[in-house]
Amino acid sequence: SHLYGAYAMIFLMLVHFYRGYYMGAYKKPREFSWMVGTLLMLATLGMGFTGYLLPYTALSYGATDVGIVLAVRTPYLGNLIAPFLLGNGTPQSLLSRMFTAHVLLIPVALGALLYAHIALFESHGIAPPASSDPSQRRRFTEKEDKKHVPFMPHIFFYMTKWALLYIGVLIGIAALWPWSLPTYYGNTAAAQPVIIPDWYFLWLFKMLV
């Protein structure tokens, strides 16, 4: 269920991101909220990247190794992140660093960014539909202001209800279609898999082949 949850989280995050772009959520006065949302998207992808190694299969190790090489070779940024990613160069060091990032560093950043994102949403409200007519956008904003609902307790319980349903669906899917892990990385006798990253990084992989 953890893997299905990760896939669902990334998919829904991308849907939310592109919906916001279509609705013009990046326009004034929501520019900072859009930037925080972009950082949330990057942090979510970071969760996917760091968590991909943790099952420690031959496929996950190979794909993570390719991703690290790409990150280290990034102009300017690569020299800054290389010491954190490479460590002492051993697989054990890499696994330890990815685990720390996945369960501690990135979740803390996600929590802080999510709090800021919700606070900014409470401040500015729902973005009006994308339109070149300022009067139409203004009327939409005035209408939303009149029916404003406070986050606590109304929206909080609404989100909690859907979160519980989401978790229940994930558990059901995982029970019906369990996921089998590929070959463990330490099994050197096994055939080496074809290194292909997960679907959310496939676009980057295709740019290189």
Three-state SS for 184? strand
* CATH 3.55.50.30 is the classification of domain 2-147+179-206: no
Least Cα distance to 104 among 148, 55, 51, 66 occurs for 51
Q: What is the pLDDT of residues 140-177, one digit of tens each?
A: 565 665 566 777 788 889 889 999 999 999 999 999 99
Least confident of 17-26, 33-42, 101-110: 17-26
Is residue 189 over pLDDT 50?
no
Would you say residue 122 has pLDDT above 50? yes
Average pLDDT over residues 103-116: 96
Q: Is the pLDDT of residue 82 over 90?
A: no
Asked if residue 205 lies in contact with residue 39, where contact means CB atoms within 8 angstroms, the answer is no
For residue 84, the model assigns a pLDDT of 84
Is the model more confident about 147 or about 67? 67
> Mean pLDDT throughout 57-71?
85
Percent of the chain's residues with pLDDT above 90 = 38
3-state secondary structure of 57: strand
| 189 vs 65, residue with greater confidence | 65
Interval 176-203 mean pLDDT: 75
Give me the pLDDT at residue 97, please.
92
Domain boundaries, the chain: 2-147+179-206
Please write down the long-range contacts of 94-98, taking CB distance under 8 Å and 24 or more positions apart: 94/53, 94/64, 94/68, 95/53, 95/54, 95/56, 98/50, 98/51, 98/53, 98/54, 98/64
Q: What is the pLDDT of residue 73?
A: 83
Mean pLDDT of the chain: 84
